[in-house]
Structure 1
């Protein structure tokens, strides 16, 4: 249950948060010109940041970038799917998300959101497949990696879960839930080795 709660918390933190940088903010990094350049800068900032709240703001900005599909129709279907997931209408969410990944197969967040819906339905194999596609499109997707870690833990693959959480920390070092999971799994695996 703790794992499911952590996954849901990560989903809502990374899936729906958006905090745009203020142009007149002297602390905000300079605005990059392309989406990839903005993401690269944000990931560099996220890796360096040692303040948990500031790291959360950077992660939210990354999530906001990921959520931009470039298509009003896709964005609307993503909103509808999020509402369906929140209402636990997973079949409805999957109908929208199937359309999203069909219409825009290079949109990583569509695959990630569909992986989340499958996870909520305990369709771990389908969720893993969508996580794999998400990570092919965006290898730094800490939300997808967190989902992978959750599935590995739920299915009893502790070493793989630990590896996935460590990958998350390599991208987002200040993510407290990942830090806690690494500590817990490390202790459990050390105890099993005795």
Structure 2
């Protein structure tokens, strides 16, 4: 009986460790769920604030080193140093393959280099990890439009619009693409 109790104690201790480690991820998922619920019903000014909070959550990998690589990649994109951006973001992806925002930003760098196949792959990876990533969905719409696929572009933009109805770039691009297709404006 003593061995059974020792064994059960180990199981309970291991279970508590797993639950304790999982709580931050669970809390983050719940926070994102709440923010997305608010986003879809928010007025434009409030939607911008909520979207910024969501984007801030997306920029947090759980590792200070990966977050630093993401910031360096983002800074390099803004500076126009796309090769350096891809290097930083690839390092973040190598070490944290579930970091959707790193995939998204690397897709932006690839898109700006006109490496559309690689951009599409990274958008797919970002959306596989965070299907509500309205910026990646917007990027998919822009990419499909660039590739001469306005119907696919419109579909992606409609999905982004459903998630974030007040995303100015999504709305403007959706109107433009819809006009190409002869559809009604939003």
TM range (shorter): 0.7 to 0.9
Count of residue pairs the alignment pairs up: 158
Q: Taking structure 2 as the reference length, what is the TM-score of the superposition? A: 0.81
- Does residue 1:68 correspond to 2:69, yes or no? no
Structure 1 CA distance for aligned equivalents of residues 120 and 34 of structure 2? 28
RMSD (CA atoms): 1.3
SS in 2 for 1:34: helix
Aligned to 2:36: 43
For structure 2, the residue ranges without an aligned partner over 5 or more in a row are 1-25
Unmatched segments (≥5 aa) in structure 1: 1-32
Normalising by structure 1, report the TM-score. Answer: 0.78
Q: Report deviation, 1:105.
A: 0.4
CA apart distance, 1:93: 1.0
Instruction: Give the match for residue 101 of structure 2.
Output: 109
Rounded to whole Å, the distance in 2 between the matches of 1:82 and 1:180 is: 24
1:98 maps to 2:86 = no
Alignment map for 1:109-188 (pairs within 5 Å): 109-188=101-180
Report the CA distance between 1:61 and its aligned residue.
0.3
Tell me the distance in 1 between the aligned counterparts of 2:132 and 2:173. 19
Q: Looking at CA atoms only, which structure, 1 or 2, has the larger radius of gyration?
A: 2
The answer to whether 1:59 aligns with 2:51 is: yes
1:40 is displaced (CA, Å) by: 0.2
Following TM superposition, by how much is the alpha carbon of 1:183 offset from its aligned partner in structure 2, in angstroms?
2.2
Q: 1:104 and 1:175 mapped to 2: Cα distance?
A: 28
Q: What's the CA shift for 1:80?
A: 1.3
